[in-house]
Structure 1
Amino acid sequence: MAHAQSKKKSDGGSGGSSSGYNTGIGLRGGGYSSGLTIKHFLGNKNGVALEALLTTEYKARGARLTLLGEKHKTVADVKGLQFYYGAGFHAGSYQGRHYFSDTRYYKGRKGEVYFDNRTYMRDEETYIAFGADLILGLEYKIEDLPFVIGVDYKPFFDVFNGYTGFYNDAAVSLRFTF
């Protein structure tokens, strides 16, 4: 009986994860994307979690759903502090994009240089986007409170309308845990 009680205390009473909680729901504020974050640990003690992000971008009108698999590890025996890493994918839709037209230089017959000014362009098309994501982060489960605060770096590769791009995103998250 004493052994069972000490084992329950060692995992923070989380009922299955070594993180101190099973599920967390909250907000994520980042450089490229901000929105809702939901993280759920699978029913084992190996620190594997699934995270879903429903985000919008401040530079584009639209939304993106990201699904990530993450592996959590404790940091230097500091209670409540965990490092995590993982990968996943995303899909979304954006309306419109902003860009500048190219600047062209022309050389005249007498050596004069002529150029076209850059023009700010906008289109109103809707673009479907999808891609792959990586994530690295730290999170801290606040002792005696049902909250987790975290920071992450999430680079992603995006494909939309025949264009590809690699983007770097970083964010701060606050989740209510249960």
Structure 2
Amino acid sequence: MAARQKAVATLPNLIRSIRKDRRRPGLSQPLPSLRRAFSLYDQINLIDNVPEDQLRFQWYTETGFTVNGLDYEGSLLCVGDLLMSWSPKKFSEITPESLSIFQIIRPIPEILVLGCGRYIEPVNPELRQFIRSTGMKLEAVDSRNATSTYNILNEEGRIVAAALLPYGVSS
């Protein structure tokens, strides 16, 4: 019992002496490096860990796209993990008829990413109303950003569609 009381009595003195040693210049130790051999983010790389059956846009050109290692020329329509050739060659050819597949597919994608080519184009009210009538939201951006947006939403497991003109298309 006496040994325990002695240890408890010396504890405050020990703590004070440790604090004094840290305050003396010359005895301070450098902070540990924040650099590591690896980062936690290296383990969370979604882009490289996509299942093989999931569509992933890897590149775009003036005339087409590279999807899962295969080159496709012309416009593309993607719904979930389905990839189809799409008839519009320029933005003015995008009509409710060119997007009529969205009247029959189920489940309806929550968002349609519209790749307008090189530049963002204003979507006419008739087309906007058609897309809204299907239950989808619309995101109209240039085709480069449309492919990235599609990849991210698809990798998140969201039901997404993309209607993409090649990047070289301009009004």
**TM-score when normalising by structure 1:** 0.22
Greater fraction of residues in helix: 2
Greater fraction of residues in strand: 1
The structure with the larger Rg is: 2
Query: RCO greater where, 1 or 2, for CA within 8 Å and sep 6 or more?
Result: 2
